[in-house]
Chains A and B, each alone.
Chain A
Amino acid sequence: MSVIYFIFQQTMLFTIPLMVVALGGMFSERSGVVNIALEGIMIMGAFTGILFLNLTGGKMQGQVQLLAAIIIAMVTGIVFSLTHAYAAINMKADQTISGTALNMFAPAFAIFVARVIQGVQQVQFINTFRIESVPVLGKIPFIGPLLFQNTYITTYLGIGILILSAVVLYKTRFGLRLRACGEHPHAADAAGINVYKMQYAGVAISGALAGLGGLIFVVPTSTNFNADVAGYGFLAIAVLIFGQWKPGRIFGASLFFGLMKTIAAAYSGIPFLASLGIPSYLYKMVPYIATMVVLMFTSRNSQAPRASGIPYDKGQR
């Protein structure tokens, strides 16, 4: 039984950041801007967030410190993503190119600044954020250990973001307008929607969520930050497509990816899997291979936003 709890708790640590970042990507693509820079934005968000944890270590601790770091990471993500928005929306640049530039910039910047500030590139922090057991709820049999023990506040934040994203996208005027801009910006424009504004909003939301995702990926799984989020930004893009640009499916896809990552990282501690003797590399490869297979069967009639990746030009017919 404890093995199941362990796997589930570990899976959550991988799943939640992946899902949050993929949801960010969803908002951007649904507004019509491809955001391949998620990886870079994650690194920037994680960097400023962790740097904050490092600098305030000793003076602050616990959930208050973490929440402050989360806000800093999200703001960083927004600011950084705006450079992508400016290139993609105002300058009508190739979105893949500007995204690639951001991905290159972020790790170099994080290492450079870390070296300038403290001499070494790794940013250390003290993890005081793990919740042993949530009061009352943690005592519930089965569900308690599964969901409310050995957890982080970020897990619940992630679930909240998932629900909020689904509501915003499908039940609000903003969501409808955002989706319209991603499907047919000219029609949206004709209906009186400011396409540029909606696309800026989409990219900014993706920046906030990717920045947050970077921080909450690093905090539970490490004690230092080395200008790297292990390709999670690219994995999040796979999750986004795997999830066909829909919040519910994105959750399912990230759960699957998270489980595979957990198995790859911890399979030797799981008696059943250890006895199978399958090398960890296979588990590491499975999410990517699975994405390829799913793409093969879904790409013919893809659910991708139709105008995604095409710069919106008012004068074009």
Chain B
Amino acid sequence: MKFKKKKNYVGVLSSVFAIFIGLMVGLVVLLLCNPSQALPGFATILSGAFTHGMRGVGQVFYYATPIILTGLSVGFAFKTGVFNIGTPGQFIMGGFGAVYVGIMWDQLGPVHWAAALLAAVVMGALWGLVPGVLKAYFNVNVVISCIMMNYIGMYLVNWVVRSYKPLFNTLRNESKNVAATAVIPKMGLDKVFPGSSVNGGIIIAILVVLLIYVILEKTIFGYELKAVGYNQDAGKYAGINEKRNVVLSMMIAGAIAGLAGGLLYLAGTGKHIEIKDVLASEGFTGISVALLGLSHPVGVLFAGLFIAYLTAGGFYLQLFEFSTEIIDIIVAVIIYFSAFALIVKTLLGKLKDKKAGKEGGNET
């Protein structure tokens, strides 16, 4: 137990290291572009989210909702040994499911939004299921099939939304508004964070994070999933059905990413499915969130909030005539160095092992 805690500590340390380097690179880029504005600009990145007090904090929670879930999707799949780069596709399919139910089934009344979210979960699960099945029974590389599913999903959603009259807003080239009953309730958060876009979605997201944590850490099913993730052959030898596990873990990962799409498009903040041939960026951000959060559900929660915080701060950068892309640059650098961090971690671990070995030797 003690050993495990130490390991996590090193992991957090390497994430902090990566964040530090990322921010420094951001500062250097700002300095190179416009030295006089760089420092106030950088301060805005770090504290801009608080510009409007509680409203700003609410905005952070609003931005964080979808990316916490896409991050959880990637992180969960990581824990079970697969790299789910298919979140953009699962996300948009989930969003489509939610929008479809949200527009078409408007006689459901008070459970309408829940039904729409359920549709999002089902569509996302379906889109995750395909790479899982292909991996289990045809040995298809998950990364590749996920990339393919991203594009198939994006084109499919664009096609259906565009050609199906009740869903399509011709004037603005995007999906129509969902029915008022399909918008996720505020759950009292509008009182705490007045004027912000935050809604009950963040509460749902946090509940899902806890659920996944319990599944992974406290159930036999989760243990089996992780065992296969650490070592597929050992898991198989221990009598775990590794094919079923790959299918199930991809399905769950897809369901979470689908829910993320549902929560975003049902937020009632004017978000619509736009007919553009561009993959959903929330999906890719999820990869960053998962990497930064070390794939641990709670880590993912904080990483999602952190990136949302930077994004909210970056929004105010335009005051200094810097474009908001600096945030993406910073996040990319953080991810790049968090890939390094894996080796920093093993190096630290090795050093400790050596120390422990020496100490042990002296004692005897």
A-side residues, CB < 8 A to B, are 36, 83, 87, 91-94, 96-98, 100-105, 107-109, 111-112, 115-116, 121, 228, 230-231, 234, 237-238, 241, 279, 281-282, 284-285, 288-289, 291-292, 295-297, 299-300, 302, 304
Contact = CB atoms under 8 A, between A and B. Distances in A.
Contact of A97 (B147, B284, B335): B335
Given A295-B138, A299-B140, A237 B323 contact: no
23 contacts: A92-B343, A93-B342, A93-B343, A97-B291, A100-B85, A101-B333, A101-B336, A105-B328, A105-B333, A108-B328, A111-B325, A112-B325, A112-B326, A116-B33, A121-B323, A230-B277, A234-B147, A285-B152, A299-B134, A299-B138, A299-B139, A300-B138, A300-B139
The 7 closest A-B pairs by CB, nearest first: A108-B328, A281-B159, A105-B332, A93-B339, A101-B336, A104-B332, A101-B335
B329 A105 contact: yes
Contact of A101 (B138, B156, B332): B332
Contacts of B277: 230-231, 284
Contacts of B155: 281, 284-285, 288
Contact of A281 (B138, B148, B158): B158
Nearest to A227: B325
Tier of interface size on chain B: 35 or more
Contact of A241 (B144, B284, B326): B144
Given A92-B343, A94-B342, A105-B329, A295 B144 contact: yes
Interface in B314-348: 323, 325-329, 331-333, 335-336, 338-340, 342-343
B346 to A, nearest CB: 9
Nearest to A98: B339
Contacts of B339: 87, 91, 93-94, 97-98, 101
B148 A288 contact: yes
Interface in B137-173: 138-141, 143-145, 147-152, 155-156, 158-159, 162-163
Nearest to A279: B159
Contacts, number: 135
B45 interface: no
Nearest to B329: A108
Nearest to A94: B339
Given A285-B156, A289-B152, A108 B325 contact: yes
B114 to A, nearest CB: 31
Contacts of B342: 92-94
Interface of B: 29, 33-34, 83, 85, 134, 138-141, 143-145, 147-152, 155-156, 158-159, 162-163, 277-279, 284, 287-288, 291, 323, 325-329, 331-333, 335-336, 338-340, 342-343
A299 B327 CA distance: 39
Contact of A295 (B141, B288, B333): B141
A44 B147 CA distance: 21
Nearest to B134: A296
B351 to A, nearest CB: 16
Contacts of A108: 325-329, 332
A240 to B, nearest CB: 9
A98 B336 contact: yes
B140 A295 contact: yes
B229 to A, nearest CB: 14
Nearest to B330: A108
A111 B34 CA distance: 16
A97 B338 contact: yes
Contact of B335 (A36, A83, A100, A304): A100
A91 B149 CA distance: 31
